[in-house]
Structure 1
């Protein structure tokens, strides 16, 4: 027996709710009023709660979309002509993600005990796999021994400590100079 697919209107409503939540979170942070999310999406509160029973469920769904978009961008860049430029294009997107989505990530991934949830581990693994694939393509143009973990640590640190995506991207350009093989 095949799995039951959601009705088309239910899928559209969920997408509209996520779009509204994403916009409201960007405007005012994670404490967005759920009634406002439903209103902006043009659906009733019952529809919102049917799709996302709690604020946490909504935050997880919004953040899951953000991680998926970041990883999809990396997948697309795997076909770029210049592997080093592709790697740093994606790292710029990653830096922006960390600098602007960190509060959402923390809200979406902390369990009741304050520990990270299994979803966090899944998202972390997906981001690491994307970075690893991009680094593997760019390896001939990187200094020997540079790993995806090295780069993610360096650029995450710039994004977290600056809290400013533009400055973090500037620092990522400096990192690029440091990890690129001479010649």
Structure 2
């Protein structure tokens, strides 16, 4: 095995890691980032040693949660395109984007602190999100459902604007209305 290369996780270890990430999202959402890591381990049904083996620090766990949330959001795009009409797939995905932003909003201070140390928790998330939007928008354009003069970068900026003004859970209804307004503006006109 090459120096620095990591051995692939066994299936049970991979499942435990995923359980920890899912539990961390739930616990951080309800208790905040100061939640005890042992609480996350109990919620995941694993021992503390398993949690710390995968995530030696709170920062490592927060960064992994964030990256996992981005990956899940972006992996949803092709599935939605394959299972829903294009415009509905885009609409569903924008709601998933709101869920992602709400989760991220609760972690923003921790993510900023991680970035201040020189690590980049955001990595390629913006490019990944733009790629997911491209998949969705290309399907919509091919179906003649949306205008073709709006780019994924434009829609991404609109979604970021909605997120900046309406990311808190208590603002969800406003965010939904703003998403509907944005998506209605994308539709082709007869």
Above 0.5 in TM-score? yes
**Aligned partner of 1:27 among 12, 30, 39:** 30
| 1:173 maps onto 2:164 in alignment | no
| Structure 1 spans left out of the alignment, 5+ residues | none
CA gap of 1:162–1:112, structure 2 versus 1, over 3 A, is closer
| Superposition deviation, residue 155 in structure 1 | 2.0
Aligned residues: 182
TM-superposition CA deviations, 1:36-60 (whole Å, max 9, x none) = 2223334333322111111011111
1:67-87, CA deviations, whole angstroms, 9 ceiling, x for partnerless residues?
122112111012245212211
Q: 1:136 aligns with which of 135, 138, 146?
A: 138
Q: What TM-score results when the alignment is normalised by the length of structure 2?
A: 0.81
Structure 1 equivalent of residue 161 of structure 2: 157
Deviation at residue 106 of structure 1 after TM alignment: 5.5
Per the alignment, in what secondary structure is the counterpart of residue 141 of structure 1? coil
CA distance in 1, matches of 2:164, 2:115: 24
Runs of 4+ in 1 over 4 A off after TM superposition: none
Note closer, same or farther for the CA distance 1:12–1:142 as it changes in structure 2 (3 Å cut): closer
1:4-23 → structure 2 map (5 Å cutoff): 4-23=7-26
When the two chains are superposed, the root-mean-square deviation of aligned CA atoms in Å is 2.5
- Cα separation, 2, equivalents of 1:133 and 1:176: 16
| Residues 53-68 of structure 1: pairs in structure 2 closer than 5 A | 53-68=56-71
- Unaligned stretches of 5+ in structure 2? none
- Report the more deviating stretch, 1-10 or 89-98: 1-10
Contact 2:77/2:132 (CA < 8 Å) preserved in 1? Answer: yes
Post-superposition shift, 1:93?
Answer: 1.5
* Residues in 2 aligned to 1:150 and 1:115: alpha-carbon distance in whole angstroms: 29
Kindly tell me: are residues 127 and 42 of structure 1, through their superposed partners in 2, closer, same or farther at Cα, counting changes over 3 Å?
same
1:113 is displaced (CA, Å) by: 2.5
- Higher mean C-alpha displacement, 1-10 vs 50-59: 1-10
User: Contact 1:99–1:160 (CA<8 Å) still a contact in 2?
Assistant: no
CA distance, structure 1, for counterparts of residue 61 and residue 44 of structure 2: 13
